[in-house]
Structure 1
């Protein structure tokens, strides 16, 4: 199997534990206009999607549009909550420092949100192969565009890229780009049985703590395990 030339990480749910914050705010905001007891059915399996697509699903399901200004207010409140509450995924900085591969980030989030996440996680200097947002490509995940852009920007063949993803949406995008994928299950929002869904999709392996990542990358790359960072 081809060796790995580029490591690409998703942002939300991989670098920072933000999905749980955004999901909570989305549910609370939608519950002001739609029956709260039916929202679970609407929102099931939607994490990883852009909020605009989730809102379209809700509007279609309930048959009435959200009020003017809802989207702007939702985004502003979510961003404020994330900036005040969010924490890095435990161990992510040490894990990525221990891996001697170029690192890119490819996210469905807005570019300024990704840049904030890198600062919060202490990873600005480590991400040496570019930051890519859905804002910069034609289609967001689950389309492969943002992952293909990351590979192109780094001069890497998609088949020699390894992606770390937490969502079905993101894993679908990376697999469609022809990349190898690891599924991270350690963020707060991951539902029961999610790892099996990722494996059935085509993810090579799943893991639950970032301390496992350097060994996994080394194994997939046919290399000895890296030394822990000093």
Structure 2
């Protein structure tokens, strides 16, 4: 029986994936590189930022300056302030899920806090925020969800993980949690036990099954 819910943030609670990758498009354009935002969303969502930047820079033979990441973070923060929205149906969904809840994200704490504040979701999670930057664990390492469950005081087997990225789905599944793939891009999943869904309003019924 499910006793605790562990939510990814970007693309699961808040509709931020396109904005995050638009920040990459803007930053790399200054280096003369043209990127496609939709391709970036599909390819890199959920990845550790350093890994994403290394992949893109390596593809184009670039060496990024030390100020690239701070500048990128500033661009994304501005985009969030003007454009960030919650995932459709997430507020009604959270209202129907009377379980302890946590956010488990690869993003830095300040980005998570900004996202939840702007989208009116902070009260659903309180202080139950777990960031890779504080834990030192990045998806698809299952340790990130195991650590969150442990800190929440729940057995991981009694937790449900909700994530929109293949790396997060892998982390949840390998951690031993019931795992739900918010699969907006109709992607395949190598784990048959994972429940795939496209409409966030369906989640409460899926959790209760």
* TM-score computed with the length of structure 1 as normaliser: 0.82
Structure 1 pair 90/138, CA: closer, same or farther in 2 (3 Å)? same
- Which consecutive unaligned segments of at least 5 residues does structure 2 have? none
CA distance in 2, matches of 1:93, 1:122: 9
- Which consecutive unaligned segments of at least 5 residues does structure 1 have? 220-230
Aligned to 1:183: 181
CA distance in 2, matches of 1:203, 1:31: 41
Instruction: Indicate if the aligned counterparts of 2:142 and 2:172 stay in contact, CA closer than 8 A.
Output: yes
Cα deviation digits, residues 82-115 of structure 1 (max 9, x gap) = 1221001111011111112111110011112212
| Larger radius of gyration between Structure 1 and Structure 2 | 1
Instruction: Indicate if the aligned counterparts of 1:137 and 1:145 stay in contact, CA closer than 8 A.
Output: no
CA distance in 1, matches of 2:201, 2:150: 29
Tell which deviates more after alignment, 25-34 or 14-23.
Answer: 25-34
Aligned to 1:105: 103
- RMSD, matched Cα: 2.3
Aligned to 2:202: 212
Q: Does the alignment pair 1:153 with 2:147? A: no
CA distance in 1, matches of 2:93, 2:197: 13
Instruction: Indicate if the aligned counterparts of 2:172 and 2:178 stay in contact, CA closer than 8 A.
Output: yes
* TM-score computed with the length of structure 2 as normaliser: 0.89
Aligned to 1:114: 112
Aligned to 2:19: 21
Corresponding residue pairs, total: 209
Structure 1 pair 25/111, CA: closer, same or farther in 2 (3 Å)? same
CA distance in 1, matches of 2:37, 2:16: 20
Aligned to 2:125: 127
